[in-house]
Chains A and B, each alone.
Chain A
Amino acid sequence: MSNRSRLLLLSGTGGSGTTTVCAATAAELAAEGLAAGLVDASGDAASPEALAAVQDVVATTLGRGLGVLGADPINPAAWSGLPGLGGLAALSDVITLLADPSVDVVVVDCGPIARARGLVALPATMLRLLDAALSPRLAMWRSGDGDQDDASTIFDGLSAARALVLRMHEALMHEATTVRLVTEPDDRSLAQVPDAIAAFGVLGLAVDGVVANRMARKDEAPKAVLAGQERWLDDLRVAAHPVSAWKSTTRPRPVPKGLSPASHLPAAPRVNEPALTITPLDEEYALDVPLAPAAVRRARVGRSGTELVIEFDGAHRWVTLPALLQRCRAAHATRTDGGLRISFVPDPAVWRAPQAGPA
């Protein structure tokens, strides 16, 4: 495990008390003598400095680009309402805190699951767009005889944006980053848990815990209610498998005593490059993609050029195939207990066929 600060993203099933659990988690860390950095990414509450920095990058690149095409100058503040900008600013706050050696754990309130999924997918999506924009042709334009000022500004602005977004992406994909779900005892919330664990896994983030928030205490509910609550908790533990689920009573403390928010818990599988294993078989290669149970049943995989695409419930993950498999064609896939196994057959158009032995 690296020495980087822990990054804990909290997301809830909507109105389940994610913000309260975030604050309680930070309080729990403080009680253990650890310094927590808190970021609110659930709305447009990023720091003014981060928002201004992101607006500046956007204004420099997009605004200048539009200016080259003849548009009037646009005030940088005018970009502030763009969708996704608040999320980028919040992630900018995250990487600032992660770089602070005095911070032990960065806790991020990512809001409801749908918003959190969009937030964690944002850097990867932007990286793909920026990589396409920063084409060799644009680099040639920059060094050409055209309008040096505009070309250089746009190219350098895009490069700066890419560097910033890459840091965000790397922070999210880091092994010391996990997602913790917050839910409450009702069946609607319960139903969202397996898909959320699987979708975050496909996006490259491991869920390491589910907090059953707002559970009634023994002294404040009838026995029948408590019994139903325990049955619901049992169902939650099945739905969250292999992730641990624990209950939290809002009073007196949302995070149960004895469970350290900084501990490393068993986490759900996630799709990341080191987790993709290649097994050479007789005449083909098998690539195993680890997935959470819900995704094992319903995910699909595809190929786009040199990339593998994993799709589950609207979440897409693009992973560059190892060079060996780039020279193969994907024959078929099989659902296994822990994910998907994809069979790759050497492409005869690329690989030389084995020579026949001596007669």
Chain B
Amino acid sequence: MTKGPWWYSGDEGVGEPPSAAAAPEDPAAAAPADRPVEPARDSLDWSALAAGAQRLVEWATERVVAPHAEHDDPREHPDCVMCRALALMADRPGTASSTRSETVPDGIAWIPILGEDPPPEA
């Protein structure tokens, strides 16, 4: 029988399971011997995903984070992804870096009170 992906619960008469070609490989072969394989996730290759994520982090560190470390003013480096993100955040009204007010995670922009420090977050 063709094995479905990890999210397919089985043949329940609702149609054919997706093709095996679309499913990730069986992780049992790739999983380290000292780590038990979770039955419910038996077709997801965790080690391959981890390796991919690690490569992504290395690329971001090398190409984005390291160059940005030398940037003082975000507005002077429009070609830098992190500087552009920081500049965008600074332009948004009500963000923490705005002088107008302070935004807390619940969506309330606290209004600064004259003569006092910005209110603490809720």
Interface residues, chain A, with chain B CB atoms under 8 Å away: 300-305, 309, 311, 329-335, 340, 342
Known contacts A300-B119, A332-B113; 6 additional CB pairs below 8 A are A304-B109, A311-B122, A332-B112, A332-B114, A333-B113, A340-B113
A332 to B113, CA, bound (A): 6
Cβ-based interface call for B93 (8 A): yes
Interface residues, chain B, with chain A CB atoms under 8 Å away: 93, 100-101, 104, 106-114, 119, 122
Q: Hey, which chain B residues are within 8 Å of A333, CB to CB?
A: 111-114
A278 to B110, CA, bound (A): 20
A303 to B100, CA, bound (A): 12
**Can you report 19 A-B residue pairs in the complex whose CB atoms are below 8 A from each other?**
A300-B110, A300-B111, A300-B113, A301-B110, A303-B101, A303-B108, A303-B111, A304-B107, A304-B108, A304-B109, A305-B107, A309-B108, A329-B93, A330-B109, A331-B100, A331-B111, A332-B113, A333-B113, A333-B114
B110 and A302 form a contact (CB under 8 A): yes
Q: Hey, which chain A residues are within 8 Å of B107, CB to CB?
A: 304-305
Q: Hey, which chain A residues are within 8 Å of B111, CB to CB?
A: 300-303, 330-333, 342
A329 to B109, CA, bound (A): 11
A206 to B119, CA, bound (A): 26
A330 and B113 form a contact (CB under 8 A): no
Q: Hey, which chain B residues are within 8 Å of A302, CB to CB?
A: 101, 104, 108-111
Q: Hey, which chain B residues are within 8 Å of A334, CB to CB?
A: 113-114
- Nearest-CB residue, chain A, relative to B109: A303
7 A-B pairs with least C-beta separation: A302-B108, A302-B110, A300-B119, A330-B111, A333-B113, A304-B108, A333-B111
Q: Hey, which chain B residues are within 8 Å of A305, CB to CB?
A: 107
Task: Return A345 CB to nearest CB of chain B, in Å.
Answer: 10
Task: Return A291 CB to nearest CB of chain B, in Å.
Answer: 13
Q: Hey, which chain A residues are within 8 Å of B106, CB to CB?
A: 304
A133 to B110, CA, bound (A): 26
- Nearest-CB residue, chain B, relative to A303: B109
A56 to B106, CA, bound (A): 32
A359 to B111, CA, bound (A): 39
Q: Hey, which chain B residues are within 8 Å of A332, CB to CB?
A: 111-114
Q: Hey, which chain A residues are within 8 Å of B108, CB to CB?
A: 302-304, 309
Q: Hey, which chain B residues are within 8 Å of A329, CB to CB?
A: 93, 100
Task: Return A278 CB to nearest CB of chain B, in Å.
Answer: 16
Q: Hey, which chain A residues are within 8 Å of B101, CB to CB?
A: 302-303, 330
Q: Hey, which chain B residues are within 8 Å of A300, CB to CB?
A: 110-111, 113, 119
- Nearest-CB residue, chain B, relative to A305: B107
Task: Using A303-B101, A311-B122 as known contacts, say yes or no to A335 and B113 having CB atoms under 8 A apart.
Answer: yes
Q: Hey, which chain B residues are within 8 Å of A311, CB to CB?
A: 122
A334 to B114, CA, bound (A): 6
- Nearest-CB residue, chain A, relative to B93: A329
A184 to B107, CA, bound (A): 40
- Nearest-CB residue, chain B, relative to A340: B113
A301 to B106, CA, bound (A): 14
A311 to B111, CA, bound (A): 11
Max chain B Cβ within 10 angstroms of own Cβ: one of A300, A309, A342: A300
Task: Return A329 CB to nearest CB of chain B, in Å.
Answer: 7
A331 to B111, CA, bound (A): 7
A309 to B94, CA, bound (A): 14
Q: Hey, which chain A residues are within 8 Å of B100, CB to CB?
A: 329, 331
Task: Return B9 CB to nearest CB of chain A, in Å.
Answer: 14
Task: Return B117 CB to nearest CB of chain A, in Å.
Answer: 11
